[in-house]
Amino acid sequence: MAKKLSILTLLAILPLALMCGCGEMGKVDQGRVIAFDKNQETVTFIIDVKHDPANPDYSGAPVTFQLPKDPAERGEDPKFGKRMKLDAKTREIVIFDDATKGFKKIAYTLIDQKEGVAKDDPLVKGKKFPLVDKAKKTITLYSGRQKLLTTFSLPEEYFALPDDTWEAGDEVRVYYKEPGKCLRFMNITRTDIFKK
């Protein structure tokens, strides 16, 4: 009961403290992870410039942050990948290209596409994506946010790229006051905010 009371007291006092100027406000950035170094405890992500969960736009600059040392301020380790966008209408995939440190749009040839595929659908449940078939020159991707399962072909030179090129990294959010050093780190993709 004492712990509940102290949290409620803190929540009541915090807005007053902020209005009085007692605390310096930090900043929040959010984006898709393109690199994660477990040993150095750093994460690099592409900033979402729209801040719209239903229609993100991962076209901002890559930023690198040192993760918090306190485990209580840190979410699950992120999965990384280079896929920024899968556009089923224009049949283009946008990747972050490590060689040029920029974005590359790649047109693909559609082989098969299924829409409205939920994460628990037998077509995708328990399977690891992307499925890269170098012999057939095809890639199969699943986007949980778009509920889209698609198989396409690409020119042969793209199959020399690592498989994580076609992987969508986790979406993360950081709170910081000093650039490059996050005070709080949240893996949005792997955090169920409705879990009790």
- Considering the domain architecture, whether residues 87 and 107 belong to the same structural domain is answered as yes
In a domain, 193, yes or no: no
- What distance in Å separates the CA atoms of residue 166 and residue 115, rounded to the nearest whole number? 19
In a domain, 182, yes or no: yes
- Considering the domain architecture, whether residues 8 and 42 belong to the same structural domain is answered as yes
- Written as six digits, the tokens of 99 are 């060689």
- Considering the domain architecture, whether residues 19 and 45 belong to the same structural domain is answered as yes
pTM: 0.81
State the SS3 of the chain.
Answer: CHHHHHHHHHHHHHHHHHHCCCCCCCEEEEEEEEEEECCCCEEEEEEECCCCCCCCCEEEEEEEEECCCCHHHECCCCCCCCEEEEECCCCEEEEEECCCCEEEEEECEEEEEEECCCCCCCCCCCCCCCEEECCCCEEEEEECCCCEEEEEECCHHHHHCCHHHHCCCCEEEEEEEECCEEEEEEECCCCCCCCC
Angle at 162 between CA 43 and CA 174, to 5 degrees: 15
CATH number at residue 173: 2.40.50.320
Taking alpha carbons only, the member of 52, 44, 34, 54 closest to residue 103 is: 34
Please report the pLDDT score of residue 103 as a whole number: 96
For residue 104, the enclosing domain spans: 83-166
Residue 122 Cα to chain centre, angstroms: 24
Condensed to tens digits (0 to 9), the pLDDT of residues 85-135 reads: 999 999 999 999 988 999 999 999 999 999 999 999 999 999 999 999 999
For residue 12, is pLDDT > 80?
A: no
Count of domains observed in the chain: 2
Residue 132: Cβ within 10 Å count: 19
In a domain, 150, yes or no: yes
The model's confidence at residue 193, banded by pLDDT at 50, 70 and 90, is low
